[in-house]
Structure 1
Amino acid sequence: MSERYPILKGAEPFYFEGNRVGILVSHGFTGSTQSMRPLGEAYAAAGYTVCGPRLKGHGTHYEDMEQTTFQDWVDSIEEGYYWLKERCDTIFMTGLSMGGTLTLYMAAKYPEILSIMLINAAIDIPAMDPVIELEGVRFLDAIGSDIKKPGVNELSYDKTPVQSVKELLTFINEVKQKLMDITCPALILVSDEDHVVPPDNAKYIYDRIGSEVKEIQHLKDSYHVATLDYDQEIIINNTLDFIKKFL
């Protein structure tokens, strides 16, 4: 599937070449790299090599997204992973929302990933389940830009393709089966108030991953897109601290 629409300004993938430690950064469902760029830039400023792929069908137009499968999103992340593998000896990964789901998927598949950092990761979204039964409806309302801080907007789609929600739910169910395969250290960051992914997803993940080293940290002043919200600096500092523990 080739995308029909141009990439939106600010939604481009980002790459920063630094030292031999790589950090793979994934944005979320219907969102774009814009939501993760502040983290990517902070990691680069700390000297790391950073890759923030644009998930296929994202950052252009929701009609492009409608044509993609979850495997396309996995492929986008794996492409970034191999870009880092060529340049780095060690790789960490962090992701927001479905980017967190992709992070879990990657940690299960590539045990050499040294540690993972999840931000409001999606593994159980009961409110989306009825979408599976929808017939004849192509698009739903937007789910992006759930941000507490006034005047800050996520670069995300203003409609959500029904087909894409179905792909997301299929992917989530696949990743659920792999949680016990994850053994690397995990930092689980969760907003206490989130209008997209229920905060109890954090405990669900914590209880089911096979990692011995794992912790939950609460973000008290952000909604779902916490990377662009009041807790942005906390996320940057805490993830950088977590990375340093394993170097």
Structure 2
Amino acid sequence: MAQSFRSPGHGDYSKIGVAVCHGFTGSPISMRGWSEYLADTGFAVNMPLLAGHGTSWQELAKTPWQHWYRDFEAAYLELAARCDTVFVAGLSMGGALALRVAALHPVAGVVVVNPGLTFNDNRAKYSGLLKYVLKSVPAIGDDMKLQGVSEGAYTRTPVAAVHQLSQLFQNTIELLPRVTAPTLVFRSTVDNVVPDSSLELLKQKVSSTDVKVIPLENSYHVATMDNDAPLIFSQSADFFRRNLHAI
């Protein structure tokens, strides 16, 4: 379902929170399985539906990137108010938002899957001008090796929103040196949406001394719904357990 997800947590991990973020033009569908796995493990989980998503691409075209960040930061802050320790996790653009929260708040750790900080399509750099003559382009969703599944992404990508995304990326890149928390990156060996330059920027600019990259050899971009999803789920939970006292 393209709806937000919340779990209060239970057992030994009830005071450990994980704020989870979906990607650009996508929806919480892409992160539902992961969120439910963490909730079943006992973690308190908060996954918002970002502004402009889960409605129409025309609505997304009118949404500034600050509203995407506002929604995810609010999910983090809600957990921080009731948990002893909070982690952030995100897919694609959600990875950028997770890194931005980690730069500005005392998170215990960051887990990102194919995080976006740069573009595959060179036209993105001209999106600020193109948005006036081109309203939308073909969708970027459902890049998965596994057949028969869908993340519920929009059928079109609004160019105005691509311009907003480029501004979010640039702003986040500037803040990366302030990311000091342990960082776990899952990176698909084949990704038709986010280029390798995003990972290189992350590794180059974050200040964390604990950055680990786990390759995903049987998944494409939306790896949280692809063949390697069980690996992401179990390895991220182990990462959270190991870093309970990282702050």
Give the structure-1-normalised TM-score. Answer: 0.93
1:140 to 137, 151, 158: 137
2:226 to 203, 225, 229: 229
What do the CA deviations read for 1:162-192 (whole angstroms, capped 9, x no partner)? 1100000011001111111110000011101
Q: Trace 1:66-77 onto structure 2 (pairs within 5 A).
A: 66-77=61-72
Give the Cα separation in 2 of the matches to 1:126 and 1:191: 15
Q: Trace 1:1-247 onto structure 2 (pairs within 5 A).
A: 10-18=1-9, 19-110=14-105, 112-127=106-121, 128-134=124-130, 135-247=132-244
Amino acid aligned to 1:173: Q
Give the Cα separation in 2 of the matches to 1:180 and 1:75: 21
Question: 1:29, 1:98 within 8 Å by CA — same for their partners in 2?
Answer: yes
What do the CA deviations read for 1:44-72 (whole angstroms, capped 9, x no partner)? 01101000000001011111111100000
Question: 1:202, 1:216 within 8 Å by CA — same for their partners in 2?
Answer: no
DSSP-derived class of the 2:213 partner:
strand
Give the Cα separation in 1 of the matches to 2:154 and 2:3: 15
Give the Cα separation in 1 of the matches to 2:19 and 2:49: 12
DSSP-derived class of the 1:241 partner:
helix
Give the Cα separation in 2 of the matches to 1:95 and 1:38: 13
| Structure 2: gaps (5+ residues) | none
Q: Which residue of 2 aligns with 1:5?
A: none
What do the CA deviations read for 1:202-241 (whole angstroms, capped 9, x no partner)? 2321121000111111000111000000000010011111
Question: 1:120, 1:199 within 8 Å by CA — same for their partners in 2?
Answer: no
Give the Cα separation in 2 of the matches to 1:169 and 1:142: 17
**Residue 79 (structure 1) shift:** 1.5
Matched length: 237
**Residue 88 (structure 1) shift:** 0.7
Greater helix content: 2
Give the Cα separation in 2 of the matches to 1:220 and 1:99: 21
Aligned residues: percent identity? Answer: 35
Question: 2:142, 2:150 within 8 Å by CA — same for their partners in 1?
Answer: yes
DSSP-derived class of the 2:191 partner:
coil
Question: 1:206, 1:216 within 8 Å by CA — same for their partners in 2?
Answer: no
Amino acid aligned to 2:116: A
User: After TM superposition, which residue ranges in structure 1, 4 or more long, deviate above 4 angstroms?
Assistant: none
Amino acid aligned to 1:129: K
**Residue 126 (structure 1) shift:** 4.6
